[in-house]
Amino acid sequence: MTTEKEKMLQGELYDANYDESLIKERIKCKKLCFKYNSISPEKTEKRKKLIKKIVGKTKENFLIEQPFMCDYGYNIELGENFYSNHNLIILDCAKVTFGDNVFIAPNCGFYAASHPLDYPTRNKGLEFAKPIKIGNNVWIGGNVVVLGGVTIGNNVVVAAGAVVVHDVPDNCVVAGVPAKKIKDLAP
């Protein structure tokens, strides 16, 4: 029999609200995030050690400004020279991968989790998750939302306030709701 966690990780409909193992994993992660957000800002090494306990994979150089929240943590991968400003939220019910040299402005959300469009299924508490992949050398402006199933290429700028619902090719600037390419960049 397939577990709810297996369904979640496979991108199938699953029930996160009544599966005890998923509930325990979320609570454990949220407790670690709470602890992280309570560490004094100048204690960067202590913060770094705790982030390594929260997220699935990191490289050496990274910084996530507080506050930071995520669902499970183990589905998050941070590349080298990763920086996120305040209020980063990652709903990591599926893999959320950040490449090298990714800079994220304040108040950004990466939402791998989603819900069915038809209300009878949605009202049953079912949801699904799709992975998010961010390439190398990406700058994400303030108040950006990236939805599940999206891949953002390399050398991309996502303008402040954009909602990214479709894949973004390499070497461009995207803006708007939904985000659309507005300018090419030199590779």
Return left, alpha or beta for 5; rule: phi > 0 is left, psi -120 to 50 is alpha, else beta. Answer: alpha
Tell me, yes or no, if 115 is annotated catalytic: yes
Spot the catalytic one: 26, 30, 48, 115: 115
Max Cα distance, the chain (Å):
50
Please return the burial class of 79, using the count of CB atoms within 10 Å of its CB with bins 0-12, 13-18 and 19+.
Answer: buried
* Rg of the chain over all Cα atoms, to the nearest angstrom: 17
DSSP bridge pairs for 128: 114
Cα 50 versus chain centre, distance: 18
Active site residues: 115
